[in-house]
Structure formats: structure tokens, C-alpha cells
């Protein structure tokens, strides 16, 4: 087989899981029920967020919060301060793609 298969957890409970991390990209899967958030942090690569369920609420750098529904793909530049949370009733589920891989940026 040429391809590699990866799996992610199907759930409505809080999940933060690393799916892939190689020299080219990192892919994480996250599920945040209402009121849950990620710790404030700075993006360690170019970040692409793919919202597949619910609504994501973002505050980047010093801008006001913005919410985006399922079906949205968001791009966030490297070294941007990020606040990510779910302020909505529906469970939030999204994938984070980082390219290039943070380990390449930090070690390159």
C-alpha cells in the first residue's frame, strides 16, 4: 500500500488530538463543547482551520471576536496571537492544518 491511513475520534466530548506530524504538515483534530476553549497561544506555523461542526469563535491579536460556521476554512498567519473557543450551544469540531510543519519552522 502506498497510502497511510489515519483515524480521528468521533465524539461530542472535548478532544484535542494530534493526527499527523511530519516534516511537511501537522494536522490536529479538536472538539470543544459549549464554553470550552484552547489556551491563548501564538500560531507556530501558517494555520488553516477547517470547521466541520458548530461555530468557532476566534480573537486574533487585538481584534474583536469573530464567529464562523461549519463549512468555513480560515487561514491564520504564523506568529499570530490566538484565542479559540466555543461560545455557541452546538458542539464545535474542527481540524487544524499547520504548513509547513512547526517542527520544520522551529528547527529549520
Summarised one tens digit per residue, pLDDT across range 8-57 is 999 999 999 999 999 889 999 999 999 999 999 999 999 999 999 999 99
Dump pLDDT digits (tens) for 53-93: 999 999 999 999 999 999 999 999 999 999 999 999 999 99
Does residue 41 form part of some domain? yes
Contact by Cβ (8 Å): 96, 32: no
Measure Cα distances from 51 to 1, 87, 88, 92 in Å.
30, 14, 14, 8
Residue in the structure block whose three cell numbers are 468521533: 10
Number of domains in the chain: 1
What CATH number is attached to the domain comprising 50?
2.60.120.10
Domain that holds residue 52: 15-107
What lies within 8 Å, CB to CB, of 56 at 6+ separation is 49, 67, 68, 72, 74, 84, 86, 92, 94
Which of 22, 5, 1, 9 has the alpha carbon at shortest distance from 93? 9
Does residue 2 form part of some domain? no
Amino acid at each position: 500500500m502506498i497510502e497511510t491511513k489515519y483515524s480521528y475520534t468521533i465524539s461530542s466530548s472535548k478532544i484535542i488530538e494530534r493526527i499527523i506530524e511530519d516534516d511537511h504538515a501537522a494536522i490536529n483534530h479538536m472538539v470543544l463543547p459549549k464554553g470550552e476553549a484552547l489556551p491563548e497561544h501564538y500560531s507556530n506555523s501558517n494555520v488553516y482551520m477547517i470547521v466541520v461542526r458548530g461555530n468557532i469563535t476566534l480573537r486574533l491579536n487585538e481584534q474583536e471576536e469573530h464567529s464562523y460556521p461549519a463549512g468555513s476554512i480560515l487561514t491564520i498567519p504564523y506568529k499570530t496571537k490566538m484565542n479559540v473557543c466555543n461560545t455557541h450551544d452546538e458542539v464545535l469540531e474542527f481540524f487544524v492544518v499547520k504548513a509547513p510543519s512547526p517542527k520544520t519552522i522551529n528547527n529549520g
